[in-house]
Chains A and B, each alone.
Chain A
Amino acid sequence: MVVEFWGHEFKVNIVLGCIGGFLIAIVSSMFGFGGGPFMVPLMTVGLGLPMYVVVGSSLLAIFFNTLMGTMRHYQFGNFDLLFFLIMFPAAILGGFIAPQIAKRVSPLTVKRVAVAGLVLLALNLLGVY
């Protein structure tokens, strides 16, 4: 498939993109997260697209998955309204506070902290400690 974006044309292996997207969608909707950090590497490394094409389009692709996953979870009775009403304002508020802080911290430091935190959390989940 050929994708045209701001005057540039890109050849995209849509089969690889769809298979990867399909698998990421299953896992992410099963465990209830967005899936962005997996989609972006898939599209940049796997499909060889530049970042400026990926940022918006990957969000659109994920949105489809989140919408479907939300509806299905609701259908299976996995949705707790009160719990949602506690978390939703906090998530919105976080979205407004974060850009204020973002100017003052280096993304590299945040990523390093995140790596350490993720490994700790993962080991905890796997029952290592």
Chain B
Amino acid sequence: MKRFWVSMVIALSATVFMFYQSGAFAEKPKETKAPVAKEEKKAEAKAEQKPEMKLDMSVAPTIQIDKTSLDNGGTITVTGNAPAGKQVYLEVWAEKKVRASRFDAEVDKETGKRPYILYMTYEMPAHYKIYIPKDKKEDLEKIKKEGKKWAYSKALKDLGADIVYSTPAKAKIDRYQATLMGSIIGSRGDMLAAMDEKENKKRSMQLVKARFRSPGKVLAPTVEVSPDGSYKAQVTIPKGSAPGKYSIVAAVDKNAKSQPVTVENNVNFPNVYLSNAGTSLNLFGPFLLTLGIAIFGVLMGAGGGFIMNPLLVSIWPLPHTIVAGTVMPTVLFSQGSGIYNYSKIKFISWKLGVGIGLAMVLGGFIGPKLTEMITLDQFKFVFGWILIILAALMFWQTTPGYIAKNKKEQAILKEFKKKAEETAKAK
């Protein structure tokens, strides 16, 4: 019987995996379509900018790159010419899009009220970075020292990089007005009207910070500008970035930008791209980690989720929402099989289990809503305290008094189980 279940599980996961694979193939035509649409957009944008572009053609920088394809990240050397004496900025973004969200509960300086608005976009580039001139390095260090409270919009302004910031500003951002009642029934709240271009840009900067978190991830001082106007920069696409096209644009002014150049980043087996998380990783990493933690979890009598989630968000650049939402279903099946085994020998009090279970269903309805309202730092902080409580609980279970009591309990448990099993067999 056990073997039957093992083979069932293996067969099932194989089918699901194949289904996913074929799904991935089916997606390909879509990807080829996307650039076309983008080019149209670009053409539109060009047409709009034409009057200005004419003026600035003479000052727009040129751009060249030394390679056009990368294998799971790498460094590209970007060179070009700009008008002498101008600062050159590079904007680098990935074509692949991910989700970013931010819950605004900070006191508004003007009205003194907390807005409680959830900002969310599905169009944040999976990788976004602005390269600034080398001589701004000290200014960037200062921003890094501000710690977690740094503001991306202020950093852009201080470093003069706001002239090149444009791709995330175009992302469509949805706003939801959260209410206490809405949170209780677990809805995101009412969707508010779309924002104007300026407001959208401002909010997109906050979302960039929410998604990429640290200044070093979105800003790098590597552009070397010579007095004659030629410039050179190292652009690094880190390991674990999304596959697909990366575009680079050089700018000296808001209206003096080069044509974009593109680099293709290839991610090959065993590295896979998790499209929802926006991260590529070696698939053996999480596999071995899960295996190890699952074994340890069973041995210590607690689910692996406690150790799994904090490790996953610490080791890989995965969003905590994805980690929480994906680890939870993995324990569903082991719980289900446990219930099945207990129910076979009638070792479950359905009245008690369902009674408390109904209260837990309500909690499970609200919890996932709250996950997206907190930042990764808050996630880690609260999780730290949860683990301390858990450690205290486990420590208590190793004290002599508990062990003595537990021994008796376990003996009774075994006896009852035996009785139950025999009864089940007799039937």
Contacts and interface: CB of A to CB of B under 8 A. Distances in A.
- Do A and B pair up? The answer is yes
Interface of A: 1, 3-6, 12, 14, 17-19, 21-38, 41, 43, 49-53, 55-70, 72-99, 101-102, 105, 107-108, 110-115, 117-119, 121-127
Nearest to B357: A64
Interface in B276-319: 276-277, 283, 286-311, 314, 318
A37 B396 CA distance: 12
Interface of B: 6, 9-10, 13, 16-17, 20, 99, 186, 272-277, 283, 286-311, 314, 318, 321-336, 338-339, 342-343, 347-372, 379-388, 390-391, 393-395, 397-398, 403, 406, 409-410, 412-413, 416-417, 419-420
B355 A115 contact: no
B97 to A, nearest CB: 13
Contact of B388 (A19, A74, A78, A119): A119
Q: Is the interface of A mostly helix, strand, loop or mixed?
A: helix
Contacts of B395: 115
Contacts of A52: 347, 409, 412-413, 416-417
Contact of B360 (A12, A41, A61, A108): A61
B364 A66 contact: yes
Contact of B363 (A4, A22, A51, A126): A22
A25 B363 CA distance: 5
Contacts of A60: 339, 342, 348, 350, 353-354, 357
Contacts of B370: 26, 30
A57 B350 CA distance: 7
Of A3, A68, A112, most buried by chain B (CB within 10 Å of CB) is A68
Contacts of A66: 328-329, 331-332, 335, 364
Contacts of A127: 380-381
A18 B285 CA distance: 39
